[in-house]
Amino acid sequence: MRGHEGLPGDVVVAGAGGFIGGHLVARLLALGHVVRAVDAKPPAEWHQRHSGAENLVLDLMDPLASREAVKGSGTVFNLAADMGGMGFIELNKAACMLSVLTSTQMLVASRDAGVKRYFYSSSACVYPGDKQRHPGVVALREDDAYPADPEDGYGWEKLFSERMCRHFHEDFGIETRVARYHNVYGPHGTWTGGREKAPAAICRKVAVAALTGDHRVDVWGDGLQTRSFMYIDDCIDGTLRLTTSDLAEPVNIGSTELVTVNELVDMVADIAGLEVERVHDLNAPQGVRGRNSDNTMLQRELGWQPSMGLRSGLERTYAWILEQVRVGVAQRVS
């Protein structure tokens, strides 16, 4: 049997060269879907590239490219965005906001092509800063997004594009689904270069410490800021469950396991079997002081929430990043 119940027609994944997009393509192919994988990056820069998919390089800010991307499809997953960790989005606000061009063109093209299901990947960065000022944050509910005061740049683009999805659903009847992702991590993600997020950055730093013997690990901020982190497999599970559901409102997809950044460092170090010295950089980008996911709506509407414990997910992620760092070190000395 081809395909998966609830996903009509052939499937397009926009942003397929990215971390989450690459994992999503792999899962969809395993489920038997015909998949068109689309990204603006050249093939060598894709995180994963699957031979079973139709792989296209297209700049989806261009309306003609968006039309080519979605033609003949029944389901579209739009994960395409210019983004990264806090070090990137705080210093590239205009670049992050320009993703609204992709979000707009993909919705218009999907409407005109008669796409039946359209998924949009939003972010916990849509939530107001004044609800995230303390490490002991109250978990964020979906209705906390308004009155609006999202993360400058990236968060505003995500919130605006959420509203577009809502109104395309209301005005044109396209079934849109919106997930607010909370800090996704795992193997095959960005782990160096400035766009990596905290789990990958810390795994890289600990791996370097393990391989070099210098056990000092740089930590951005005082390390008391809190976050929850969701493993990639849970992210993909939640994305598919949401897309095949009847839930038209934006919903959190994230873990509720809250930790400080210092605790995250200590956990990775323990996985590596190291004693590390944390060196705090108080001038580095830190983001909000606390952020956690309230999964009440997710559990009520989908009967599900992420289940991978942080340590288990970090064990898999650290093993993968350690190997990437090891290869890099070997190449430099060869």
* 169 class by beta-carbon count within 10 Å (0-12 exposed, 13-18 middle, 19+ buried): middle
The residue from 118, 120, 127, 154 that is catalytic is 154
Sign of CA dihedral 31, 54, 26, 60: negative
Beta bridge partners of 280: 219
Beta strands in the chain (DSSP E): 11-14, 35-39, 54-57, 75-78, 117-123, 175-181, 184-185, 216-220, 226-228, 230-231, 251-253, 258-260, 277-281
Specify whether the CB–CB gap between 89 and 97 falls below 8 A: no
- Spatial neighbors of 142 by CB under 8 A, at least 6 apart, are 180, 249, 250, 251, 252, 294, 297
Q: How far from 54 is each of 108, 112, 250, CA to CA, in Å?
A: 22, 21, 29
97: closest CA among 25, 41, 155? 155
> What span, in angstroms and rounded, lies between the C-alpha atoms of 258 and 309?
11
- 154 as an active site residue: the answer is yes
Q: Which residues are catalytic?
A: 154
